[in-house]
Amino acid sequence: MGIFSFLRRLLSRLFRKKHTIMGIYGPPNSGKTTLANRICADWLGEEMGSTSRIAHETRQVRLKEKLTITDSGGRKVTFALADTPGIASRIDYREFVKEGLSEADAKLRAKEATVGVMESIEWLDKVDCVLAVLDCSKEPSTQVNTTILRSLHERNIPTLLVANKIDLKRASVERVKTAFPDEEILGISAKNGDNIDRLYERIIDLTSRK
């Protein structure tokens, strides 16, 4: 890490808000907002934002502050949760047209999604720890997944790799473990709540390492 990057990160930490910021990162349609909605619904009684089968529904960082969770052992942590736009190496408006959007709407969505990717990257200098979410029913060894994890480790950001969508027939947490053997991994279903209590325990562990 260069000296200017180090100083920028140090200053951002010195002048940061009181609570830890936990970011939810991952590729589009990995279930990031579904997970954010699950966490917020469980502990705040409200959801973070809308979801869609069409990629890049989330195109701006959304933040919920003063979110307090506890685990079965009575441990408690308060943090801010940042749901970030999906990171993609390529955004083509024609993919949105195939999903039924008009050409004008598709081009606008692609433009906003591109800006959202940049905002997600900028927020790496603001988050203290990260839930890196991927869809474990798909091939995990993608350029995007690898790049996200590498960027987090280069910044020394405590990270839990969340293998989401274990409720799907093609899901395989073991495939994720094989692809990323050095990562701390937890399989969940954000949609159904499978293993969600274990996730809360791991979140408390993660925030203590920031």
| Cβ-contact 126, 150 below 8 angstroms | no
Residue 15: its pLDDT value, please?
A: 46
Distance between CA atoms of residues 146 and 150, nearest Å: 6
The whole-number pLDDT of residue 9 equals 61
In angstroms, what CA-CA distances link 86 with 78, 116, 148, 202? 25, 8, 11, 23
- Which backbone phi and psi does 116 adopt, to 5 degrees? -65, -40
Domains of the chain and any CATH numbers: 3-87+116-207 (3.40.50.300)
Max Cα distance, the chain (Å): 53
Q: How many CB atoms lie within 10 A of CB 110?
A: 20
Cα–Cα distance for residue pair 106/78, rounded to 1 Å: 38
Mean pLDDT of successive 10-residue segments in the chain (210 residues)?
A: 58 59 95 95 89 75 92 90 91 83 89 90 94 97 94 95 97 97 96 95 86
Residue 152's pLDDT is 95
Instruction: Return the pLDDT at 10.
Output: 57
Strands laid side by side in the 62-70 sheet:
62-70, 76-83, 20-25, 129-135, 159-164, 185-187
C-alpha to C-alpha distance for 131 and 188, rounded to whole angstroms:
12
For residue 164, the model assigns a pLDDT of: 98
Looking at residue 207, what is its pLDDT? 87
Handedness of CA 64, 26, 151, 113 (dihedral sign): negative
